[in-house]
Each structure stands twice: as structure tokens, then as C-alpha cells.
Amino acid sequence: MKAARRPRHTRAVYVISVAAELAGVHPQTLRIYERRGLVDPARTGGGSRRYSDEDIERLRRIQDLTAAGLNLEGVKRVMELEDEVERLRAELAEARREAREAVESTHRLYRRELVPVSQAPVLWRGRR
């Protein structure tokens, strides 16, 4: 049975020298980023680093932030906050979807309970 294929942007295919060139940094810089917890490349069975397109985008973001004057600890914090914002946006979108479905379900329930006036029960008032 074949293993499930990962999406291309998360598939780790680039060796460290290629990843460094794509990100515009030295391979040693990538090792520093990894030690600081800024990037976590996949590893082969032999322990070699492999970077995905997603990792390359992350490396470019690190370069943008350091070029703007942030130190590596600041970059790490900014990226953690960006990741949290993205997670919260996804969570909010899911909550909105669930709320929309709940409202639609309630509206469908109301429509089933409506009775046309011609079929409405008449109140019996009895004798006076």
C-alpha cells in the first residue's frame, strides 16, 4: 500500500545548500536559525536536513524581519505571534461556519413548525 503523499509545499525536498541559496543566506545561517528554534527542517534517515517550500518561505520571512532591524529573539516572537494569529483566524472561521449552520438549521426547524392559517386550530370558548 502506498503512503499518502504530502502536499508539495510541505514536502521536504531541498538540501541545506539549495535551501540557503533559495533563501539568500549562508548554510551556516540556516543551522543557527535551527538552533534558535526559528525553523525545523525535516531529517532523512541519515540525519541530513531537508527543507520544504514552506520552510523556504519561512526563511525568507526571517530575512525580511532581520533586515527590518529585529534580532533573532524578536524574529522568533513575531513569528510565534503570526502563527497564533493564523491559528485564531482559522478557529474564528470555523466558529462562524458552525454558527451559520446552527442558524440555518434553526430556520429550517421554524419552517416545519409553521401552520397555514386555514389549518390553524380554533380556540373553543365554551358557553357563556
Please write the tens of the pLDDT for every residue from 6-28: 565 567 789 999 999 999 999 99
Question: Angle 45-49-52 (CA atoms, 0-180°, nearest 5)?
Answer: 110
Query: Which domains does the chain carry?
Result: 9-112 (1.10.1660.10)
Instruction: Say which residue, 125 or 42, is predicted with more confidence.
Output: 42
Per-chain mean pLDDT for the chain: 87
Q: Between 62 and 121, whose confidence is greater?
A: 62
Contact 53, 19 (CB under 8 A): no
The position carrying cell 358557553 is 127
pLDDT in tens, 68-98: 999 999 999 999 999 999 999 999 999 999 9
Q: Which residue has the higher pLDDT, 42 or 11?
A: 42
Q: In which band, very low, low, confident or very high, does the pLDDT at 63 lie, cut at 50, 70 and 90? A: very high
Helices (H), the chain: 16-23, 27-35, 53-67, 72-113
Of the spans 5-14, 50-59, 109-118, which averages the highest pLDDT? 50-59
